[in-house]
Structures are given as C-alpha cells and as structure tokens.
C-alpha cells in the first residue's frame, strides 16, 4: 500500500493556503471596504479590517511554505471564525441552492486549517 503522510500534509497545506490566498489577493486588488462596513455594523473599529491581510495573505503563505505552519493555520482558524460571526452567522444551519451547506467554503477553510494545526507541516517545509 502506498503511504506517504508527509506528501498528504503538503497537499493539504498547498490546497488550504493556495485557495485562501486567492481571496487575500482579491482583497489586495479590490480593497476591504466590505469588511470595514461589516465591522462598523457590529460597532467595531474599521481599522481591524486590515487584519484580513494577515489572515488571507500572510497566514496562507506561512502554511504554503511550511514556515511556522501551526501558527499560520491558527491565524486562519481565527480569521474564519471572525468571518463566520461577522458575515455568515445567519447561514450556519442553511443549505445552499444546490443542496450543499451554505457555509461549505468557510467550513472547508476553518476545519482544514484546524486539521493543519493538529497535524503540523510534515517534512516538506522550510526549515524554521
């Protein structure tokens, strides 16, 4: 039987970090006005919106590279929890039009990052 858990961990890291990084890059190009508005609607300072760059650019790069992977993944977990509370809490028990969970993407990022926190980076990583 073919078994290579380190390769599996690399695939999970690249998938989590790569897919979330696209969201961060979109925010770099298009701004974070939506997030600032969401924070303001919850009576939170709009300046906190800049934290999304840490959660969707810096942390995914940490996970992809395997540098301080568990810390990067924990930042992603926090980022996703904040996103769910601020924007998606009304959808927690909702189904999407196609029959899937309305929060499958957010759930994927949250629970995959949590798995990486517990698994660690594996051997295919930057030395740290």
Query: Domain for residue 102, yes or no?
Result: yes
Query: Domain for residue 128, yes or no?
Result: no
Tokens 């980076």 appear where? Answer: 121
Tens digits of per-residue pLDDT, 89-126?
A: 889 889 888 889 999 999 999 999 999 999 999 999 98
Residues 59-82, mean pLDDT to the nearest whole number = 98
Residues 11-29, mean pLDDT to the nearest whole number = 98
pLDDT for 128? 63
Number of domains in the chain: 1
Query: Domain for residue 105, yes or no?
Result: yes
Query: Domain for residue 124, yes or no?
Result: no
Domain of residue 107: give its range.
Answer: 5-119
Query: Domain for residue 127, yes or no?
Result: no
3-class SS string, 54-121: HHHHHHHHHHHHCCCHHHHHHHHHHHHHHHHHHHHHHHCCCECCCCCECCHHHHHHHHHHHHHHHHCC
């Amino acid at each position: 039987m073919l078994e290579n858990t380190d390769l599996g961990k690399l695939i999970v890291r690249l998938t989590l970090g790569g897919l979330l990084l696209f969201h961060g890059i979109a925010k770099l190009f298009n701004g974070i006005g939506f997030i600032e508005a969401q924070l303001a609607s919850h009576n939170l300072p709009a300046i906190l919106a800049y934290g999304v760059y840490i959660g969707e650019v810096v942390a995914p790069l940490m996970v992809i590279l395997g540098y301080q992977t568990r810390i990067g993944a924990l930042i992603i977990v926090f980022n996703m929890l904040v996103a769910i509370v601020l924007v998606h809490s009304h959808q927690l028990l909702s189904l999407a039009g196609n029959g899937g969970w309305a929060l499958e993407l957010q759930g994927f990022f949250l629970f995959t990052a949590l798995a990486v926190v517990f698994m660690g980076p594996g051997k295919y990583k930057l030395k740290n």
